[in-house]
Amino acid sequence: MTTDGGVRLDCTGPVATVTLSRPDVLNAQTPAMWRALREFSRDLPAEVRVVVVRGAGRAFSAGLDRSIATGSGPDTFGELTALAPEEAAARIAEFQEAFTWLHRPDLISVAAVQGHAIGAGFQLALACDLRVLAEDASLSMAEVTLGLVPDLAGTKRLVDLVGYARALEICVTGRRLDAAEAHRLGLATLVVPPNQLDDAVRDLTGAVLAGDRNAVIEIKALLAGAAGRSAADQQRAEREAQTRRLRDLAGVGE
């Protein structure tokens, strides 16, 4: 177990569990947490295949810690605004890495969402490949209520999942989505009663691990790139992936 910056990492064989561990503030996020998440991604054992992201206590994450927005010291908006625009953008790029490592082709990431997933919390859930929601989950892209934009790699994920028009409506209104609506829109893989969340995540993780690791990696790459390819390019990618799998299964070298 590794704990740093309000985040905990537990690795058990092929499963790593990342837990946001600030339940007293509903796991409100800070740059220190983002640095810890980024470092965890570099320290994962090679055997890890699935990463589960969850929040301690009754919420996944209530979003950005408000002290960051109102303060002027290190790791605050005040510090960011004092930087040159290029330096501020580079700092935000570092923050984004805390989320984008969950896109890695060799991992399947699963968000276990209960209670609030607001702003940065919603974007962290979106960073995962799959989302299991408790029936009490409440999602919101609330950055607009602070005069801000979603900047933690969540906008493309949202558009990919629900389409441009719905994503625009969700982002510019900052409204809350309950678990049932999230499921209807394709944001939730599963919705379960809160007392079944752990079991549902465990079952889903087990189903992922039952598949051949290299086949799962190839499938994730195929699907992740499909939207940016033409039909002909996607078919070629399928042929190439299948050829690699057949040769690997037959023990044929390069």
CATH of the domain at 173: 3.90.226.10
**Which residue intervals of 17-153 are DSSP H helices?**
31-43, 66-70, 77-82, 85-100, 120-127
pLDDT score, position 68 = 86
Q: Are residues 97 and 175 in the same domain?
A: yes
Give the count of domains, the chain.
Answer: 2
Per the structure, the complete domain to which residue 57 belongs is given by: 2-209
Q: Are residues 66 and 130 in the same domain?
A: yes
Q: Are residues 124 and 149 in the same domain?
A: yes
Q: Are 14 and 47 in contact (CB under 8 A)?
A: yes
Alpha-carbon gap, residue 198 to 201, rounded angstroms = 5
**Which residues of the chain have a pLDDT value below 50?**
none
Q: Are residues 176 and 195 in the same domain?
A: yes
Q: Are residues 85 and 198 in the same domain?
A: yes
pLDDT score, position 190 = 98
Q: Are residues 70 and 195 in the same domain?
A: yes
Alpha-carbon gap, residue 192 to 175, rounded angstroms = 22
Report the Cα–Cα distance between both ends of the chain, in Å, rounded: 39
pLDDT score, position 254 = 61
Q: Are residues 12 and 113 in the same domain?
A: yes
Q: Are residues 50 and 122 in the same domain?
A: yes
Distances 100 to 53, 103, 238, 244 between C-alpha atoms, Å: 13, 5, 25, 26
Residues with Cβ within 8 Å of 77's Cβ and at least 6 positions away in sequence, in order, are 68, 69, 70, 71
pLDDT score, position 73 = 78
Q: Are residues 233 and 138 in the same domain?
A: no
Q: Are residues 231 and 173 in the same domain?
A: no
